Amino acid sequence: MKNLINSEDLNLNEIEKLFLLADKMNKKQKKYDESLKGFVIATLFYEPSTRTRLSFESAIQKLGAGLISTENAKESGSAKKGESLEDTIRIIQGYADMIILRHFDNDSSEIALKVASVPIINAGSGNGEHPPQGLLDLYTIRQYKKEIDNTTIAIIGDLKNSRTVHSLIKLLCLYKNITIYGLSIKGLELPQKYVEYINNHNSKFIICKSFSEIPSSVNFIYQTRIQIERIENKNLSIEDIILNKERFSRFSQNTFIMHPLPRLNEISTDLDDDKRSIYFQQAHNGIPTKMALIYSIIKDFYKNKKHF
């Protein structure tokens, strides 16, 4: 794997290899301390981020690589002066051996890839995709349920604009017997192209009109925030899709709650102490999965370099 642009770029074999490496890195972090010494990696972020950027930057430093970073490229970078994304990539690839890009355009990573001479990782492109988050979500599913085949998951909230949902759906569709329940508010339903993707990959998508229609035995509830910055109607009521203690009480002892975060009020804080609330652990899984991702891509891309 030489880049990661869309979740579709990944196959089962690559994912399994990545996860085994992430497991190893989790256990024996010291062994990989200096493994990317001498490489420099750039994080180029045009949209806000806490978890994704900082976990990438932590992973980069844990691997011993150097880091250059622009956290608000839309305002502080040359984009402000009118520079195109292509030109910015052409410049940064002279400074760094890999570029991790977050951008407000859905096709930004493809645009970057066309001109790039270094690996590109898409760390969020508009309301399209967010493959590294999809990977850490899948890694979390594997951690808590052991097998990913036969997973049932209820995806709730802004299914239209949540790029993490889109990436996770595509990854889940690589596995056998996947059932996805969708609960959204009006106007923020899962776009038809993803429904078709699920159907074309032998998985099931079942629309729920309320919480009560989600089976109590579902393995995971994946809650998302409304992407208020991407929608016109800022006054949507999310009352019906808030997950609180009472609504969660009928679910199984083996139903886990996930969220890509940040959370607003769609998961009430009274659920934080429940051992089935795994969203903070999920965020921490960003470190081993990103270490494994960066390491694998660099190793593959620069395999003829003496370093490896």
Q: Residue 178 interacts with ligand NCD (CB under 6 A)?
A: no
Nearer of residues 97 and 243 to ligand NCD, judged by Cβ = 243
Residues 6+ apart with CB under 8 A from 85: 79, 103, 105, 108, 111, 112
Instruction: Please report whether residue 160 would count as binding ligand NCD according to CB under 6 A.
Output: no
Structure tokens at 147: 């097998």
Query: Closest separation between CB of residue 149 and ligand NCD, Å?
Result: 25
Which residue lies nearer to ligand NCD by CB, 93 or 136?
136
Q: Could you give the CA distance from residue 171 to residue 8 in angstroms, rounded to a whole number?
A: 7
| Residue 128 interacting with ligand NCD (CB under 6 A) | no
Give me the catalytic one of 53, 62, 102, 103.
Answer: 102
Q: Residue 62, interface with ligand NCD (CB under 6 A)?
A: no
Q: What DSSP state is assigned to residue 33? A: T
Q: Taking CB under 6 A as the rule, does residue 52 contact ligand NCD? A: yes
Contact 57, 69 (CB under 8 A): yes
The single residue of 30, 81, 146, 275 carrying the catalytic annotation is: 81
Strand partners, 154: 181, 221
CB of 9 to ligand NCD, least distance (A): 18
Determine, following the binding rule CB under 6 A, whether residue 51 of this chain makes contact with ligand NCD.
yes
Number of residues that bind ligand NCD (CB under 6 A): 10
Nearest to 198 by CA among 153, 236, 258: 153
* Residue 74 among the catalytic residues: no
How far apart are CB 308 and ligand NCD at their closest, in Å? Answer: 30
Containing H/E element for 159?
A: none
What type of residue is 265? N
The Cα 187–Cα 239 span in angstroms is 15
Please identify which residue in 93, 164, 255, 289 interacts with ligand NCD, judged by CB under 6 A: 164
Tell me which of 53, 103, 130, 259 is the catalytic residue.
130
Identify the active-site residue in 2, 17, 24, 51.
Answer: 51
Count of Cβ atoms closer than 10 Å to residue 3 Cβ: 20
Does the footprint of ligand NCD cover residue 241 (CB under 6 A)?
A: no
At a CB cut-off of 8 Å and minimum separation 6, what does 193 contact?
A: none
Query: Is 131 a binder of ligand NCD (CB under 6 A)?
Result: no
What is the distance of C-alpha 131 from the center of its chain? 5
Under the rule (CB under 6 A), what is the footprint of ligand NCD?
Answer: 51-52, 124, 130, 133, 163-164, 225, 260-261
Catalytic amino acids? Answer: 51-52, 81, 102, 130
